Amino acid sequence: MHSSINRRSVLKASLFAGLAGSVMPLSTSGFAQSDARAAIRAAALANREQDIRRIQDWIRLPSIAAEDLNMPEGAEYMAELARSAGFSDVEIVPTDGHPGVFGYMDNGAARTLGIYFMYDVKQFDASEWRSPPTTADFVDVDGWGRAIMGRGAVNQKGPEATFLAALHAMKRAGVTPPVNIALICEGEEEIGSPNFKQVATKPNVLSALKKCEGIFIPASWQGANGEVSLNMGSKGIIELELVASGENWGRGPKGDIHSSLKAMVDSPVWRLVHALNTLVTPDGNTVAIEGWFENVRALSERERELINTAAAASDEAQRKTSLGVTHWIDDLPYNEALQRLAQEPTVNIEGLVAGYTGPGGKTVLPGKAVAKLDLRLVPNQTRAEAERKLRAHLDAEGFADVEMNVSGGYDPTEIAEDSRLVQAQLAAYKAMGVTANLNPRLAGSWPGAVFTAPPVSIPAGHFGIGHGTGAHAPNEYYLIDSTNPKVAGLTDATMGYAEILFQLANVR
Q: What is the pLDDT along the chain (508 residues), one digit of tens a residue?
A: 333 333 333 333 333 233 233 334 444 444 445 678 899 999 999 999 999 999 999 999 999 999 999 999 999 999 999 999 999 999 999 999 999 999 999 999 999 999 999 999 999 999 999 999 999 999 999 999 999 999 999 999 999 999 999 999 999 999 999 999 999 999 999 999 999 999 999 999 999 999 999 999 999 989 888 999 999 999 999 999 999 999 999 999 999 999 999 999 999 999 999 999 999 999 999 999 999 999 999 999 999 999 999 898 888 998 898 889 999 999 999 999 999 999 999 999 999 999 999 999 999 999 999 999 999 999 999 999 999 999 999 999 999 999 999 999 999 999 999 999 999 999 999 999 999 999 999 999 999 999 999 999 999 999 999 999 999 999 999 999 999 999 999 999 999 999 999 999 999 9
247 in the same domain as 125 = no
**Domain end (from 410, 438, 457):** 410
CATH number at residue 427: 3.40.630.10
Tell me if 409 sits within 8 A of 390, measured CB to CB: no
pLDDT value, residue 318: 85
205 in the same domain as 66 = yes
CATH number at residue 258: 3.30.70.360
Residue 415 CB contacts under 8 Å (≥ 6 apart), including other chains: 214, 232, 233, 421, 422, 452, 459, 460, 461
How do strand 180-186 and strand 112-118 relate by DSSP bridges? parallel
pLDDT value, residue 135: 98
How do strand 436-439 and strand 228-231 relate by DSSP bridges? parallel
2 in a structural domain: no
Closest to 99 measured CA to CA, from 122, 121, 119: 119
184 in the same domain as 68 = yes
pLDDT value, residue 24: 41
354 in the same domain as 283 = yes
352 in the same domain as 228 = no
pLDDT value, residue 107: 97
What whole-number distance in Å separates Cα of residue 466 and Cα of residue 159? 8
One-character DSSP codes across 170-218:
HHHHT---SSEEEEEEES-GGGT-TTHHHHHTSHHHHHHHTTEEEEEEE
Tell me if 184 sits within 8 A of 117, measured CB to CB: yes
404 in the same domain as 417 = no
**Domain end (from 388, 410, 432):** 410
Strands annotated E in 324-385: 346-354, 364-365, 368-377
295 in the same domain as 181 = no
16 in a structural domain: yes
Which residue type does 336 have? E
128 in a structural domain: yes
- Collapse the DSSP code of 338 into the 3-class scheme (helix H, G, I; strand E, B; otherwise coil) and give the result: helix
36 in a structural domain: yes
- Structure pTM? 0.88
316 in a structural domain: no
Tell me if 475 sits within 8 A of 130, measured CB to CB: yes
- Collapse the DSSP code of 499 into the 3-class scheme (helix H, G, I; strand E, B; otherwise coil) and give the result: helix
197 in the same domain as 62 = yes
221 in a structural domain: yes
338 in the same domain as 451 = no
How far is CA 437 from its chain centroid?
A: 19
Question: Inter-axis angle of helices 48-59 and 34-46, to 10 degrees?
Answer: 60
406 in the same domain as 421 = no
Sign of torsion, CA 102 105 111 113?
negative
What whole-number distance in Å separates Cα of residue 267 and Cα of residue 258? 12
337 in the same domain as 434 = no
Q: Which domain holds residue 431?
A: 7-234+413-506
pLDDT value, residue 34: 65
**Domain end (from 410, 444, 463):** 410
Secondary structure element (H or E) that encloses residue 420, with its range: helix 420-431
94 in a structural domain: yes
How far is CA 30 from its chain centroid?
A: 28
280 in the same domain as 427 = no
Integer Rg of the chain from CA: 24
What count of other Cβ atoms lies within 10 Å of the Cβ of residue 415? 21
Phi, psi dihedrals of residue 110, rounded to the nearest 5°: -80, -25
**Domain count for the chain:** 2
327 in a structural domain: no
